[in-house]
Structure 1
């Protein structure tokens, strides 16, 4: 088969099925990435969500011994929505990052890659193909960068010429020896906006991410969020877009190519108080198709409680008291105690009520972490 001609056919087909960018690279090891990943591990920068085996992350043939090429694809996603719901004092709202708008992008990309795989198999029946999106061993960004789709910016996201960094990435390992595309030049230059504007200082050394400080990572943790980071979370209930929003290459980017990615305003800007008492079933029915639901409802509810504390929302006091006194989960009880303290410090009309209930909770609580949160709030209220 004429693989040069077939590559062009595959590119044409990818455009017909709604793939915004496609690139090809070899299955050679990712040598520079390997060194950087070992450094990140030594520094304690990793999130714990990634593949633990660095060799598998950087050696494509450790996944598929017959691999000769990697096909990288990118789908652009929207950054603005119509009918944005109002955020009022009576109805404070949270925020899901744009990467969780619409249908779970893992499913959307897998659907496109399944079509690509079928097209390849039709023309090359003995082709070996293995696809992955985000949760696979390989680094989506490293593959896409080497395949010429874009360059990795200082915010660690891939930046494309046509869509900025607002793209989802996936890749396919194959034994077909496609001619590789050339990487593009890194154009960050002296710009340091993303590093300077990162709320928690998680971007370090221009292109390194300390995941342990990253707001997007912290919103996905299931445990208590360290107190110094709670105010930095603001009203985010999942993810963080700050480093992308300030990037010059994202100015004016707002692509609506894929209906599956269009946001439901009420879901991506949810009322915070409505999140607090959702059952598992209600949560799945409301948010189950979104990428931001993958860790379950507890992190979302904890983040909603933090957001209410940051808003100093006195209308949420009864809901938060209910969480502190009745919820079986220590993370929810303790975070509610913190939020109640934040609100009572600023709202005199609820000060006495909150103080008394915190004192009562102190007598009833047995979990040591929750007790620390209650004592912390009481101490700060007494200092007021």
Structure 2
């Protein structure tokens, strides 16, 4: 087999099946990444969603027997909705981050990688392959960077010359010794706009993020959001795009190559109050196809209450009172109490005073007190 010729055939086929960019690198260990991951762990900057075994994250030979190369792929996603819905008084809307628009990208990339695998195995039946997207052991960004897909920006995203950082990434370890591509030189230079734009200062410095302070991470947690971050979440119900929208490399970048990624603004920019009353079935029917639904209904509902507080939406008070009075979850009740205090008004005050006399959960009691303090100042 002529490996160089096969590589060209694979590149051509990747374009046929809707892969926007493809790159190749060796299966050598990611030694520089290992040092960064160890340091991140020492500082307590991890999200907890990552593969816990650092060796597996940096050593492809632990994932596939005798690996020879890694193929990286990138698919560009839209940065603008074709139809613009406006949030207005009485009809306040939340927003899912761009990476959660359309069909869950895990399914889209796995489809492309599966087709790529089939093509390889048809031509080289004894080849060994292992594909992964996001939840796999390897770092998608580290692989993409080394394979020449783009450079690693100060916002910790891979930035491509063609599509900016609005790309989904996936990779495939193979036993075929493909010629590696040349990495792209860092083009961030002295620019620090992403660091300045981060609402919580989670971008500690260029290339390092404290996930525990990142809004994208916080919106995916299941507990009470720490006080210092609640107002900074704004109307985000899932994810955060601030460090991407601030990046000059993303200016004017908006690609609509894939039908599965197209948006329905009523879903990706949903009305907030209906979310509070959704059953599990209703939530799954409306949001289940989004990657942003992976943590379930409760985090989205909690974030929706924070968003309603952000807007000081008085029309939401009856719904928030209902959550405070009828919900079983301390997180939901506590967030509702805080939101009522933030919005204010006589009905909010009455509900909080009533709850103060009957609530037995300590966390919820604390949130009720916070709400009343806001109303009394």
Tell me the TM-score normalized by structure 1.
Answer: 0.97
Name the structure 1 match of 2:371.
377
Name the structure 1 match of 2:179.
179
Q: Is 2:325 the counterpart of 1:320? A: no
Q: Report if the CA contact (8 A) 2:314-2:343 is conserved.
A: yes
Q: How far is 1:254 from its partner? A: 0.3
The Cα offsets for residues 42-61 of structure 1, whole Å up to 9 and x where unpaired, read as 00100000110011000111
Give the distance between the partners of 2:253 and 2:290, measured in 1 at CA: 22
Name the structure 1 match of 2:159.
159
Q: Is 2:358 the counterpart of 1:336? A: no
Q: Is 2:81 the counterpart of 1:87? A: no
Name the structure 2 match of 1:356.
350
Name the structure 1 match of 2:250.
250
- Number of equivalenced pairs: 377
Give the distance between the partners of 1:91 and 1:247, measured in 2 at CA: 30
The Cα offsets for residues 350-383 of structure 1, whole Å up to 9 and x where unpaired, read as x22221211110111111111100011112222x
Q: Report if the CA contact (8 A) 2:56-2:138 is conserved.
A: yes
Name the structure 2 match of 1:294.
294
The Cα offsets for residues 128-169 of structure 1, whole Å up to 9 and x where unpaired, read as 111000000000000000000100100000000100000000
Give the distance between the partners of 1:231 and 1:90, measured in 2 at CA: 20
Match runs of 1:229-248 below 5 Å? 229-248=229-248
Q: How far is 1:307 from its partner? A: 0.3
Give the distance between the partners of 2:274 and 2:72, measured in 1 at CA: 40
Q: How far is 1:65 from its partner? A: 2.6
Give the distance between the partners of 1:180 and 1:274, measured in 2 at CA: 51
Q: How far is 1:18 from its partner? A: 0.6
Q: Report if the CA contact (8 A) 2:341-2:373 is conserved.
A: no
Q: Report if the CA contact (8 A) 2:317-2:347 is conserved.
A: no
Give the distance between the partners of 1:365 and 1:65, measured in 2 at CA: 57
Residue 359 (structure 2) aligned to one of 365, 370, 382: 365
Name the structure 2 match of 1:98.
98
Give the distance between the partners of 1:86 and 1:184, measured in 2 at CA: 39
Q: How far is 1:83 from its partner? A: 1.7
Name the structure 2 match of 1:129.
129
Give the distance between the partners of 1:257 and 1:352, measured in 2 at CA: 51
Q: Is 2:274 the counterpart of 1:265? A: no
3-state SS of 2:171 partner: strand
3-state SS of 2:328 partner: coil
Q: How far is 1:84 from its partner? A: 1.5
Q: How far is 1:28 from its partner? A: 0.4
Give the distance between the partners of 2:15 and 2:346, measured in 1 at CA: 63
Give the distance between the partners of 1:152 and 1:352, measured in 2 at CA: 51
Give the distance between the partners of 1:251 and 1:356, measured in 2 at CA: 48
Give the distance between the partners of 2:131 and 2:359, measured in 1 at CA: 49
CA RMSD of aligned residues (A): 0.7
Name the structure 2 match of 1:347.
none
**Which segment is superposed worse, 81-90 or 265-274?**
81-90
Name the structure 1 match of 2:308.
308
Q: Where in structure 1 are there 5+ consecutive unaligned residues?
A: 345-350
Name the structure 1 match of 2:8.
8
Name the structure 1 match of 2:223.
223
Q: How far is 1:123 from its partner? A: 0.2
